Amino acid sequence: MFTKILAKVCMVATLAVAGIAHAAYPDRPIRIVLPYAAGGPTDVVNRLIAENLKNRLGQPIIIEARPGGAGLIAIQQVLKAPADGYTLISLTSTFAAHPGLFKQLPYNMERDFIPLMRTVIVPIIAVVHPSLPVNNINELVEYAKRQPGGINYATAGNSSGPHIAGEYFKSKSGIDMTHVPYKGEAPALVDVLGGQVKVMLSSTAGALPYLRTGRLKAIAVATPNRLDFMPDVKTIAESGYPGYEFYGWWGMMAPAGTPPEVVTQISEALRAVLEQDDVKSRLAGLGLIVSPQGPQDFKKYITDQTRMYTQIIRSSNITTD
C-alpha cells in the first residue's frame, strides 16, 4: 500500500515539475533569425513585431540577420538549434517556390518546421513609368499585343515572387513581355523611375513612396480584393482575368519538435500583437496587410502555396539563373 501511495506521489510531483517547466517559458531571450540582410523590409517588420512581442512574452526578442545561400544559411542555423521555442525563423513566400526551383533541398518545410503564424500579406502591384500611355492592365495588354516582345518588365530578380507573378499573368493574358531581372527591388525601381524600363511588378512596400509622389503609376493589383490604401486601382481578377491572384506573405516558424504548449503560447502572443491597432496602422503605412493565420491553417496554406508555385514555375520554365 505504501509503495502504491509513494508511486502516485512521485507521479504527481513529476507532472507538477513538468507543468512548472512549461509555465516558466520563456525565461530567457528569444531569437528570431532572418534569412535577409539587416535594414530591409523584412527586418523592419520583424523588429516592429519583436518590439511588441517582448511585452507579451516578458523577455527580450533578438533579431538576427543571416542572409546568403538563398536563405539556407539561416535555415540550417535554426534547424541546428534546440527545438525549445528560443530560436524562431521568419520566412517568406519565397521559400514556397524552392521545391519548384531546386531539385534537391537540405530541408523540407513540412517535415522540419512548425508554422506559428502567418503575419502579413505583401501585395504585388503592376506599376508603369508615367510616360507609358496606359492607365490600367487591359490597356497594357493591348499595348503589349501590338508589339510582341517589345515591352520589358522589371522585377527584383529571377524566380522572385514578382517574376513568378509576371510569368503567370503572361500565360493568362497571352501577351509576350520580356523579363528584366535585377539584383533586388531597389535597383529595379531606380531604372523604372528613370524610364529605362517602363513596366514593373513590385511589392507595394517598395513602390508606395513613388506612387504617392506621382513618379510611378499603378495600373493593377494582384491581390484578390482592392487595397484599402489605393481603392481606385482595380485587381487583375476584376479586369477580366477571374481567378488570378498572386501576392507575397511572411510568417513565423519554429523548428519541428517544439513543444505544443510553447507553439500555442507563441502563436497566441503573435496574434495579439498583430491585432493591435498601432501595429496594423504602422504596417499599413508600409503597404502591408496584417493577415494572421494560426498554426493549422498556416500549415495548409503553405502546402497549397507550394503546390501553386511549383506548377507555375515548371509550366513557365522559370529558373534561378
Q: Where residue 225 sits, what CATH number does that domain have?
A: 3.40.190.10
DSSP category for residue 230? B
Residues 257, 112 share a domain: yes
Report the distance separating Cα 312 and Cα 80, nearest Å.
Answer: 32
User: Which residue type sits at 35?
Assistant: P
**In the listed set 173, 208, 239, which residue is the last one of a domain according to the structure?**
239
Residues 143, 103 share a domain: no
Report the distance separating Cα 288 and Cα 293, nearest Å.
Answer: 15
Instruction: State how far the alpha carbon of 31 is from the alpha carbons of 26, 56, 135, 217, 299, in Å.
Output: 11, 15, 45, 40, 22
Q: Write down the pLDDT at residue 22.
A: 47
Residues 227, 205 share a domain: yes
Are residues 85 and 30 in contact, defined by beta-carbon separation less than 8 angstroms?
Answer: yes
**In the listed set 239, 262, 293, which residue is the last one of a domain according to the structure?**
239
Q: Write down the pLDDT at residue 6.
A: 42
The C-alpha cell 512581442 sits at: 53
Residues 117, 253 share a domain: yes
Residues 255, 117 share a domain: yes
Report whether the peptide linkage leading into residue 26 is cis, meaning its omega lies within 30 degrees of zero: yes
Residue 152 lies in a domain: yes
Residues 139, 65 share a domain: no
Residues 116, 54 share a domain: yes
Residue 180 lies in a domain: yes
- Total domains in the chain come to 2
163: which residues sit within 8 A by CB, 6+ positions away?
A: 155, 156, 157, 179, 181, 201, 318
Name the burial class of residue 321, with classes exposed (0-12), middle (13-18) and buried (19+) by CB atoms within 10 angstroms of its CB. exposed
**Mean residue pLDDT across the chain:** 91
User: Which residue type sits at 214?
Assistant: G
Residue 320 lies in a domain: no
Residue 204 lies in a domain: yes
Residue 309 lies in a domain: yes
3-state secondary structure 199-223: EEEEEHHHHHHHHHCCCCEEEEECC
Instruction: State how far the alpha carbon of 313 is from the alpha carbons of 65, 138, 317, in Å.
Output: 28, 24, 6
Report the distance separating Cα 300 and Cα 305, nearest Å.
Answer: 9
Residues 128, 232 share a domain: yes
Q: Write down the pLDDT at residue 20.
A: 43
Q: What is the pLDDT along the chain (321 residues), one digit of tens a residue?
A: 444 444 444 444 444 444 444 458 999 999 999 998 888 888 999 999 999 999 999 999 999 999 988 888 999 999 999 999 999 999 999 999 999 999 899 999 999 999 999 999 999 999 999 999 999 999 999 999 998 888 999 999 999 999 999 999 999 999 999 999 998 899 999 999 999 999 999 999 899 999 999 999 999 999 999 999 899 999 999 999 999 999 999 999 999 999 999 999 999 999 999 999 999 999 999 999 999 999 999 999 999 999 999 999 999 999 987
For 60-110, write each residue's pLDDT tens digit: 999 999 998 888 899 999 999 999 999 999 999 999 999 999 989 999 999
Residue 97 lies in a domain: yes
Q: Write down the pLDDT at residue 69.
A: 86
**In the listed set 239, 259, 280, which residue is the last one of a domain according to the structure?**
239
Residues 107, 145 share a domain: no
DSSP category for residue 234? P
Residue 309, C-alpha cell as written in the block: 508555385
Q: Write down the pLDDT at residue 10.
A: 47
Residues 138, 59 share a domain: no
Structural domain of 57: 6-121+249-315
Residues 227, 127 share a domain: yes
Q: Where residue 294 sits, what CATH number does that domain have?
A: 3.40.190.150
Give the other-Cβ count within 10 Å of 317's Cβ.
7
Residue 44 lies in a domain: yes
264: which residues sit within 8 A by CB, 6+ positions away?
A: none
Residues 150, 113 share a domain: no
Residue 321 lies in a domain: no
